[in-house]
Amino acid sequence: MPGWVLEAINRGGPMSVVVRHAERNEVQSISHSLEVGLTDKGKEDSVRFGEAVRGSRAVRLFHSPAVRCRETAAGIAEGLRGNGHEVISIEESPLLCAPYLRDTCVLGDADRMGHGFMRAWFEGRFDPRWLLPTPEAADMVLSQVIAGLAASPADRLDIHVSHDWEVVLLREELLSVRYEDAGWVDYLTGLAFTRHGEGYIASASEGEAMFAFRDGRRRLPD
């Protein structure tokens, strides 16, 4: 549901969101995908996303090193500024682009298997020396998201522009939502994170779940 993240943002309050980038050009090979940028529609949609954020927010943007994520963040920032929001910063973050990948040899499997690569990963069919297990991988991606949210003032919004793998990973690890059941991740949608007491709530269009996060790992809520 592409509009769900915007609906969550527009409820207000301190929030971090992790979204897939906007529509990109075709990827010929995952091994050479970082330089693939957005289509013209993707660039326009990124600006419209920022324009659709209501209220008056102080926003930090983070993006993966991929060109398409940098372009998405820049477009969102343009839309936000045009809508009267304060864009505090735009930063590149390697934690938003497969930080759990330890050996590029698995990228050949990803090219060959398509979306089925993710199910093989969740089922533990890859050597952890090459690709971290999904629980550890999800915590690695979450670490920056939660660190920023933990100290956010009331009007702060953090937008993390990432990839379909990261959103699929977090959605299943946190919400137990399988992509085979919910469908693949649309452009410019993902998950929202808010504080709840000493813990956090992760939510997506498919539902929500509460968790604690301490010392870089998820815990059961107290």
Q: Which of 184, 187, 213, 209 is closest to 198 using CA atoms?
A: 213
Token match 């298997």: residue? 113
Q: Which of 132, 144, 139 is closest to 217 using CA atoms?
A: 139
DSSP type of residue 92: E
Give the number of other Cβ atoms within 10 Å of residue 13's Cβ: 13
Contact, 10 vs 54, CB < 8 A? yes
Give the number of other Cβ atoms within 10 Å of residue 8's Cβ: 21
| Token pair listed for 66 | 């991929």
Domain spans of the chain?
4-219
CA distances from 108 to 40, 105, 116, 143 (A): 29, 6, 13, 28
What confidence tens digit (pLDDT) does each residue in 93-122 have? 999 999 999 998 899 899 899 999 999 999
What confidence tens digit (pLDDT) does each residue in 122-150 have? 999 999 999 999 999 999 999 999 999 98
What is the rounded distance in angstroms from the CA atom of residue 109 to the CA atom of residue 100?
16
pLDDT for residue 198: 87
Contact, 15 vs 158, CB < 8 A? yes
- The rounded mean pLDDT for the chain is 94
Cα radius of gyration rounded to whole Å, the chain:
17
In words, the CATH class of domain 4-219 is alpha beta
Q: Which of 83, 70, 64 is closest to 43 using CA atoms?
A: 70
What is the rounded distance in angstroms from the CA atom of residue 98 to the CA atom of residue 55?
33
The CA-CA-CA angle for residues 115, 120, 122, to 5°, reads: 100
What confidence tens digit (pLDDT) does each residue in 9-49 have? 999 899 999 999 999 998 877 777 888 899 999 999 999 99
Find the range with the poorest average confidence among 71-75, 148-152, 171-175, 209-213: 148-152
